[in-house]
Amino acid sequence: MDHLVKEALEGEFRVNMHDADSIQRGLISYMVRVVGHDPRSAGPRQWFMALAYMVKGILSERGMGTSRAQYGQDTRRVYYLSMEFLTGRRLMKHLLDFGLETNVREALDALGQDLDELAQQEPDPALGNGGLGRLAACFLDSMATHRYPGHGYGIHYEFGMFSQTIEDGQQVEHPDNWLQGGNPWEFVRYSVSYPVRFNGRIVCFKDESGRERCEWVDTNNVNAIAYDLKVTGYDSPVISNLRLWSARASTDFDLRFFNEGNYIEAVKDKTTSETLSKVLYPMDSTVLGQELRLKQEYFFVSASLQDIIARYLRVHEDLRLLHEKIAIQLNDTHPALAVPELMRLLIDVHGLEWDEAWSVTRETFCYTNHTLLPEALETWPIGMLEHVLPRHLEIIYLINHDHLQQVRFRFPGEMEVLRKMSLVDENTQRIRMAHLAIVGSKRVNGVAALHTRLLREKVFPEFDEMYPGKFVNVTNGVTQRRWLLQCNPQLSDLITEAVGASWKSDLTALHALEPLAEDAAFRERFNAIKLANKARLADHLKEQTGYVVDPASMFDVQVKRIHEYKRQLLNLMHVIHRYTLLREGRLDDPVPRTVVIGGKAAPGYWLAKQIIRLTCDVALTINNDRAVSDRLKVVFLPNYNVSNAEITIPGANLSEQISTAGTEASGTGNMKFALNGALTIGTLDGANIEIKEEVGDDNIFIFGLTTEQVTETKRRGYNPWKVVEHDADLKRVLDMITSGFFSPQQVNRYSAIRDTLFDGGDQYMVLADFRSYIETQAKVDALYRDPDAWARKAILNVARMGLFSSDRSIQTYAKEIWGAEPMDI
Ligand SMILES: *Cc1c(COP(=O)(O)O)cnc(C)c1O
């Protein structure tokens, strides 16, 4: 080592990435010069930092090339605004994208370090709740891979999604201090900073030219500081930027108090304003009307739009043509304040007329709707907006005034329609953010065919009628780079060997695998890989929970946020039913199963937490019952996040996608599992429907009521008691849950579950779908008994997943929504 260190420090600083020796010297050099640690005593943590800084150098170099090309070509830029980006760890992704894994591994070997161990040192940046944030990350990957000029904007949360442990069978939340050890990937741009204003009042006056102008004065200001993360694409010269804003107290704000001699107050306010980027709200598919959340939304929207306009003005002059050079995608309504904010900037700051500003605005924005659940639709109290963003409230009223004029014209005399379509809910005195986003956007998209249809027919039919062609569908997708290449290297190699490597940037190439489903030797290799991935998952489960599971058993997996609509409870009811059958010897030739359930519950979502607790109680009972032990195991996988997903998904045989029909907008977990060779048991919901169409009815297990049947059943007066009365198995399962069979220390523990199912009317139709689910699970067993038949279908699933790449989603957005072209670079 001594001579190596000497040599490295004497040698050239530039690293030749195609040469393991040069990489090795580069690592030593980064260790000394950037990490500041003696290579002779460095551990994996320090080597991770050295490697990350070295890769960061490449990111920066290449990023500048992209930037120059963008300004040079002046093609339309795409800005993706999202409160959440669930990117997962960066290191392996960059190495794979650059094709550097082998050389780096070799260089580290020579230094006595293991790349996989280093990669584990990186904290998983959990700047998102679940599907919505993960989608944003997949989209950035696909945009960079296919050379679109994409830019992400979000919040640099100091604390991301909480980490979850299970203590006494219950979820415990811990702060996710992901920046604690420093973040080697970020570029802090202290010079890229914008003031974001709150509160204050509006003064309007006539300027010299007699034009009415409004000014927003006496505001409380916070500065937004840019933190840039580079986003690589696979084998692509394009490096995109993800700009995350961090809140800093602005000095003007401090000074006011300071001058009054109140130094301590000034410092106190400094910390208050910095809470804006402190923590991610840990709720998925539900909203909480908190002022801090509203401020977070406005904070990142305002900073992003100021930045977007500044970039535009660097090379263009006329803001009336802004929409010809940019498109801004709103990831759900969280950034919908961008609509009045762009209006404000264009009118109050840049002097455009209202009509000019409005036509630019509605040609610039596009809005993605992510959910139909009423509890997830954002609305803000008028009083709160008036206090926090008085100018924006005025602008929203003006937009609404014009909008309602058009509604009156389109639906004359229809007061009910007018009331329904208004941006203001008069009953609750709240602003409807989805309506604001629809009115202010050129296109509105749903995220799966069914979801878009329901949006158009059930939720916003009048908007659809008034704006024909505005509502479009773009079915979600996932990036095959992370969700196959990175998380399942063995299957990736097998596929590449069989059909070539083009699937990595064109997933439809997987079609060529179809004939191999009939090839016994291929099936054998496919099965061996699945078994190895199951063994890896089994090790992980043992390490995380202490439970030992058999990789030869069927791995039946449901990992996603815990939510009533996702129906983890239905899954558990099947488990309990199976347990009773096993105990009574009523299952002939039982197929051994390991049921894995994982996911976080929002900290205030008590029923979701009860479902976690029930899972753990059921696991404790079943896993310790010798009578069934080799045939059924239940494990709750703690702290589901991207890194855990990368281990879990490749190890699944059966993918549980069992939401009540009409509730899951798309789902992307469903796509990741099928891509890794799991068969799906699912309802006709979200993208499951399209997955079924692609893989074929014979290669998926569909059960339960359809969306139309759910509506119809409820309309006729759904009676949960009736369902249970006619089904002795179901009654027994419920009795076991509610009589303390799994919680003998506290027999009433699950009375709330009984209450939602009965008095609460079983909103998510768990009881209604129970029988169909149980019957379908029996079909799953039957197929699993024939490993060859199972493998054929699993291979066909992989082969037919071509449609579900986020590359296809992005190409559709580019063509049908943004009008964006790939860069020439
Ligand atoms: C894909 C993914 C999700 C979304 O899963 P669904 O099953 O679509 O709800 C949530 N969390 C993580 C960590 C993911 O990787």
Hey, which CATH number is domain 552-787, 3.40.50.300, 3.40.1190.10, 3.30.70.260, 3.40.50.2000? 3.40.50.2000
Catalytic residue among 470, 534, 561, 793: 561
- The C-alpha atoms of residue 655 and residue 780 are separated, in whole angstroms, by 11
pLDDT confidence tier of residue 255, bands split at 50, 70 and 90: low
pLDDT band (50, 70, 90) for residue 815: very high
pLDDT, position 559? 98
- The residues spanned by each domain of the chain are 1-73+90-123, 74-88+124-476+811-818, 552-787
In ligand 1, the atom with minimum distance to the C-alpha of 131 is 4
274 pLDDT tier (thresholds 50, 70, 90) = confident
Active site residue 668: yes
Percentage of the residues of the chain whose pLDDT score is greater than 70: 98
Q: What local confidence, expressed as pLDDT, does residue 12 receive?
A: 62
560 is known as an active-site residue: yes
**What residue's CA is closest to ligand 1, atom 4?**
131
- Dihedral (Cα; 626, 629, 632, 633), 10-degree rounding: 100
pLDDT digit string, tens, across residues 93-128: 999 999 999 999 999 999 999 999 999 999 999 999
| Spatial separation of the C-alpha atoms in residues 570 and 681, rounded to whole Å | 12
Q: What is the per-residue pLDDT for 263? A: 73
* Stronger pLDDT, 255 or 672, i.e. the higher one: 672
Q: What is the DSSP letter of 76?
A: P
Residue 668 Cα to ligand 1 middle (Å): 6
Pocket of ligand 1 (CB under 6 A): 130-131, 134, 560-561, 640-642, 645, 667-669, 672
Which residue out of 129, 478, 560, 680 has the highest number of ligand 1 atoms within 8 Å of its CB and is therefore the one to mutate?
Answer: 560
CA distance 802 to 725: 45
Mutate to test the pocket of ligand 1, among 84, 134, 558, 673 (most ligand atoms within 8 A of CB): 134
Ligand 1 atom at minimum distance from 657 CA: 7
Ligand 1 atom nearest to 644, measured from its CA: 13
| pLDDT range class, residue 14, cuts 50, 70, 90 | confident
Between CA 440 and CA 76 the distance in angstroms is: 19
Look at residue 258 in the predicted model and tell me its pLDDT.
64
Instruction: Give the residue, by CA position, lying nearest to ligand 1 atom 15.
Output: 642
* Mean of pLDDT values over 521-549: 98
pLDDT in tens, 298-315: 999 999 999 999 999 999
pTM across the whole model? 0.97
Task: State the chain's mean pLDDT as an integer.
Answer: 95
Residue 195 to residues 84, 253, 312, 341, 741, Cα–Cα distance (Å): 22, 11, 18, 13, 59
C-alpha dihedral (2, 3, 5, 11), degrees to nearest 10: 170
The protein residue with its alpha carbon nearest to ligand 1, atom 6, reads 669
Residue 257 has pLDDT above 70, yes or no: no
DSSP state of 199: S
Q: Would you say 596 and 559 are in contact if contact means Cβ atoms under 8 Å apart?
A: yes
Two structure tokens written together for 782 = 């039957």
Ligand 1: nearest atom to the Cα of 667: 8
How many angstroms does the Cα of residue 130 sit away from the middle of ligand 1? 5
Average pLDDT over every residue of 394-419: 98
Contact 563, 603 (CB under 8 A): no
pLDDT band per the 50, 70, 90 thresholds, residue 269: low
For residue 177, report the distance from its CA to the centre of ligand 1, in Å.
21
| Helix (H/G/I), strand (E/B), else coil: 768 | helix
Q: Do domains 74-88+124-476+811-818 and 552-787 have the same CATH topology?
A: yes
| Closest protein CA for atom 1 of ligand 1 | 669
> How many whole angstroms separate alpha carbon 56 and alpha carbon 61?
9
Distance from first CA to last CA of the chain, Å, rounded? Answer: 41
Please tell me the distance between residue 641's alpha carbon and the centre of ligand 1 in angstroms.
Answer: 8
Q: What is the pLDDT of residues 662-710, one digit of tens each?
A: 999 999 999 999 999 999 999 999 999 999 999 999 999 999 999 999 9
The stretch 531-554 carries a mean pLDDT of 98
Distances (CA, A) of 701 to 266, 563, 670, 672: 62, 22, 13, 17
- CA–CA distances in Å: residue 341 to residues 306, 335, 732: 9, 10, 57
Q: Whose CA is nearest to atom 11 of ligand 1?
A: 130
Marked catalytic residue, from 334, 504, 672, 792:
672
Ligand 1 atom nearest to 668, measured from its CA: 8
Residue with tokens 């339960």: 704
**Burial of residue 5, with CB atoms counted within 10 A of its CB: 0-12 exposed, 13-18 middle, 19 or more buried:** middle
Instruction: Quote the radius of gyration of the chain (alpha carbons, Å).
Output: 28
Distances (CA, A) of 5 to 38, 64, 336, 338: 9, 31, 54, 52
Q: Choose, from 134, 370, 443, 749, the residue flagged as catalytic.
A: 370
Q: Within 500-591, where are the H helices?
A: 520-545, 568-583
Residue 567 CA to ligand 1 centre (angstroms):
15
Distance 613 CA to ligand 1 centre (A): 21
Right CATH for 74-88+124-476+811-818 from 3.40.50.2000, 3.40.50.720, 3.40.50.1820, 3.40.50.2300 = 3.40.50.2000
> Rounded to whole angstroms, how far apart are CA atoms 273 and 252?
12
For tokens 């991770």, the residue is 48
Q: Is 5 left (phi over 0), alpha (psi -120 to 50) or beta?
A: alpha
The pLDDT value recorded for residue 13 is 65
Q: Is residue 561 among the annotated active site residues?
A: yes
CB contact at 8 A, 100 and 167: no
CA 370–ligand 1 middle distance (angstroms): 14
CA distances 684 to 234, 241, 578, 693, 708, Å, are 33, 37, 24, 11, 10
Nearest alpha carbon, ligand 1 atom 9: 560
Is residue 626 classed exposed, middle or buried when 0-12, 13-18 and 19+ CB atoms within 10 A define those classes? exposed
Residue among 333, 433, 298 nearest 379 (CA): 433
pLDDT band, very low/low/confident/very high, at 742 (cuts 50, 70, 90): very high
Is-contact 29 8, C-beta < 8 A? Answer: yes
In whole angstroms, give the CA distance from residue 341 to residue 389. 10
Q: Which of 80, 85, 70, 131 is nearest to 338 (CA)?
A: 80
Tokens in use for 69?
Answer: 């090309």
> Ligand 1 test: best mutation among 668, 681, 805, most atoms within 8 Å of CB?
668
Q: Which of 244, 245, 249, 188 has the alpha carbon at shortest distance from 223?
A: 249
pLDDT at 327: 98
Residue 262 banded pLDDT, cuts 50, 70, 90: confident
pLDDT digit string (tens) for 761-781? 999 999 999 999 999 999 999
Write the residue with the smallest CA distance to atom 10 of ligand 1.
Answer: 130
Task: Output the CA 413–ligand 1 centroid distance in Å.
Answer: 45
> pLDDT over 90 for what percent of the chain?
90
Per-residue confidence band for 252, with pLDDT thresholds at 50, 70 and 90: low
Query: Which listed residue (566, 593, 600, 792) is catalytic?
Result: 566
- Residues 313, 319: Cα–Cα separation, whole Å: 8
pLDDT reading at 251 higher than 70: no
Question: Could you give the CA distance from residue 526 to residue 734 in angstroms, rounded to a whole number?
Answer: 39
